[in-house]
A and B are shown apart, each in its own frame.
Chain A
Amino acid sequence: MSDHLNFHFTVDGDNFVSAGQASVQVKKNLRELGLSPDVIRKVSIAMYEGEINMVIHAHGGTADVNVYEDRIEIILDDEGPGIKDVELALQEGYSTASDSVRSLGFGAGMGLPNMKRYSDDMRIDTTVGVGTKITMTIRL
């Protein structure tokens, strides 16, 4: 119900050239809103990792960034394969990335841990064969 700004993006699957574009745009938008560099950096890192995960693991999806008075909410929604074992996926170093993706610098198994670390709250709703929705909140 409360007033808030929304930035909505469609994230292209399997396109590594444009990968990260939504995050870069959000960074720009938040800068224009005059938010602190520290907040912008947290949002940028958390969102980029989630955006890249949708590209390399889920054939793309949608990203929504909602800016409220007291917080920023990032919602990443995909119809990919889902995550079988969330606890395992959250461990540093766990990755199912392919060799070709690894050769681009991805696949360290650090993305989800970074998302958890740079957000104040993270919720993962995932169903195997249906998709994954990740909601992150960063307090202002």
Chain B
Amino acid sequence: MKVTDLVNDLGFAPICMPDPEREIHGCYIGDLLSWVMGRAQADNLWITIMSNVNTVAVASLADVSAVLLAENVTLEESIVQTAELKGVNILSTSLSAYEAAVKLSGAL
């Protein structure tokens, strides 16, 4: 499935999608950045509640296909711009990480 499908099929809200056609394979959930760095796989959807500028750097370097901010967590506008520049897709949802993963799992 593609990042755009997260919006169209699953109803997650786009925050920024510079690379909407990117394919998603699998999912990783975590808020501790070094765990994500070490354990997330390339092309995963990364679900987290950690939203600061380091989230964007980790997403870019770990090469995940998108970040999904759970529990209605928001992102500062300046960080959204950084993400846009770095080609990092970010979406949000009011669901918990668990609920979002269940929803994703049914669609993958």
Task: Identify the closest chain B residue to A27 (Cβ).
Answer: B61
Q: Which residues of A from 17 to 49 have beta carbons under 8 Å from B? A: 17, 19-21, 23-24, 27, 37, 40-41, 44-45, 48-49
Report whether over half of chain A's contact residues are helix, strand or loop; otherwise say mixed: helix
Contact flags B24-39 to A (C-beta < 8 A → 1, else 0): 0000000111110110
* Residue B54 CB within 8 A of the other chain: yes
B54 A45 Cβ-Cβ under 8 A:
no
Task: Identify the closest chain B residue to A19 (Cβ).
Answer: B54
Count B-side interface residues using an 8 Å CB cutoff: 20
* Residue B53 CB within 8 A of the other chain: yes
B61 A104 Cβ-Cβ under 8 A:
no
Contact residues in A for B32 (Cβ distance below 8 Å): 105-108, 110
* Residue A16 CB within 8 A of the other chain: yes
* Residue B63 CB within 8 A of the other chain: yes
| CA gap between A45 and B57 in the complex, in Å | 10
Q: Which residues of B from 32 to 79 have beta carbons under 8 Å from A? A: 32-35, 37-38, 42, 50, 52-55, 57-58, 60-63
The 9 closest A-B pairs by CB, nearest first: A110-B34, A20-B57, A108-B32, A44-B61, A105-B33, A114-B38, A105-B50, A108-B34, A111-B34
Measured CB to CB, the residues of A under 8 A from B are 16-17, 19-21, 23-24, 27, 37, 40-41, 44-45, 48-49, 104-111, 113-114, 117-118
Q: A23-B57, A24-B57, A105-B33 are in contact. List 9 more A-B contacts (CB 8 A).
A: A20-B57, A20-B58, A27-B61, A44-B63, A45-B37, A48-B61, A108-B33, A108-B35, A117-B38
